Amino acid sequence: KTNVWKINPMRVDAHMDEINQAAYLLQQQEVVAFPTETVYGLGADATSEQAVHRIFEAKGRPSDNPLIVHVAESSQVENLVTDIPESAKKMMASFMPGPLTIVLESNGTCAKNVTAGLSTVAVRIPDHPVALALLKASEVPLAAPSANRSGRPSPTTADHVYQDLNGRIAGLIDGGPTGVGLESTVVDCTSDMPVILRPGGITRQQIEDAIGAVMVDPALASTEEKPKSPGMKYTHYAPEAPLWLVDGSDEFFIDQLRNLERDGKRIGIIASNELADQLPQRRVIACGSRNNLKEVAVHLYSALREFKKADVDIILGEAFSEEGYGEAIMNRLQKAAVKKLNQF
Ligand code: TXA
Ligand code: MG
């Protein structure tokens, strides 16, 4: 049975009892889900191999996919790594706490299964009052992947976590919906030129404004290369019904929809407000304006969870621009999709 605590994130000081109960479970090597500013995480003591093993079990996660380690303060990053290069220091100053994860050489403090045998460790400081309070109360670094069953869309509400993991985890702190809606940007800082391994809540432009030119893992742009971030190779974010991405004009999208409906298919739609406004109101989820991709990011994962297999045969998803937050949005949509319909 999973303990659920409801906490108002604006008033964490009034909920220290619940935070301490959750921290106590973590100290007993149990796993507890908690909100961060990006998505809900499934936390366990990163220094305990047994606790970390429970994360992999609860999620059904492949053991060669390493976890991100969360700490409350930048001084604690030093305890986990051999060295913090200049580029990493600058990014820490600009974006931590925040939706950025940096990969550095591990000093071996974390349990071996956290890093899945790699010599490096991924570290982040979440910008969320509940996550920070839990990190402080538990007094250990917390390994925490997204709190979904492996392969499913990441959870942006406690209800999503409950759907996937009820009965499989000791605790769940419900701190309301998360803010960013997509996971952190993962940047490898172990070589001279930092490399973005996973686009996320901090855009490439923001990073370049802070530290100058960065590279992007070539595997992100092709299906041929082996990704450097092990997690990027697995099926991810999959909705219940098959997702088809539609890349073209609104007229093209509407044509594809009509053709499929003519064949008797029941279609769910995930689209911008602008496209949704042109469609009949049936089975359409509008995620936000295509001119405000930050808003689209907030609603994307709950949209992917919304359509049930019993109700729709195919989900048609609108392809967005890959500028700014669009880089992360399209990375997730491309992974979630089984097929792409291109106009050009
Ligand atoms: O926003 C987030 O980052 C959320 C919240 C809960 O903090 N966490 C998250 O964790 O998204 P997860 O496990 O779902 O994704 C971690 C990603 C995976 O793609 C994994 O392969 C990569 O980070 N990663 C972890 N350690 C790594 C390492 N040492 N080197 C390269 N990639 C690493
Ligand atoms: Mg994940």
Phi then psi for residue 96, to 5 deg, are -115, 130
The pLDDT score that the predictor gives to residue 280 is 86
154 Cα: distance to centroid of ligand 2 (angstroms): 6
- Residue with CA nearest ligand 1 atom 18: 231
d(CA 122, CA 104): 6
- Ligand 1 site, residue 36, Cβ cutoff 6 A: yes
Rg (CA), the chain: 20
**Quick one: tokens of 30?**
């149990």
Is 154 annotated as a binding-site member? yes
* Strand-pair category, 41-45 with 142-143: antiparallel
- Residue with CA nearest ligand 1 atom 33: 229
Cβ distance 145 to 164 under 8 Å? no
123 Cα: distance to centroid of ligand 1 (angstroms): 9
* Strand-pair category, 100-105 with 32-34: unpaired
User: Max Cα separation, the chain?
Assistant: 61
CB atoms closer than 10 angstroms to residue 50: 11
Q: Which of 182, 44, 171 is nearest to 113 (CA)?
A: 44
Q: CB burial class (10 A; 0-12, 13-18, 19+) of residue 241?
A: buried
The pLDDT score that the predictor gives to residue 236 is 84
Sheet holding 41-45, edge to edge: 3-6, 171-174, 32-34, 41-45, 142-143, 68-70, 120-124, 100-105, 185-188, 195-198, 215-216
- Ligand 1 site, residue 186, Cβ cutoff 6 A: yes
What predicted TM-score, i.e. pTM, was given to this entire model? Answer: 0.96
d(CA 143, CA 275): 40
Q: Name the residue type at position 96.
A: M
pLDDT per residue as tens, the chain (344 positions):
899 999 999 999 999 999 999 999 999 999 999 999 999 999 999 999 999 999 999 999 999 999 999 999 999 999 999 999 999 999 999 999 999 999 999 999 999 999 999 999 999 999 999 999 999 999 999 999 999 999 999 999 999 999 999 999 999 999 999 999 999 999 999 999 999 999 999 999 999 999 999 999 988 886 656 667 766 666 789 999 999 999 999 999 999 999 999 999 999 999 999 999 999 878 999 999 999 999 999 999 999 999 998 899 999 999 999 999 999 999 999 999 999 999 99
* Residue of 67, 81, 106, 226 with the most ligand 1 atoms within 8 Å of its CB, for mutation: 67
Q: Name the residue type at position 325.
A: Y
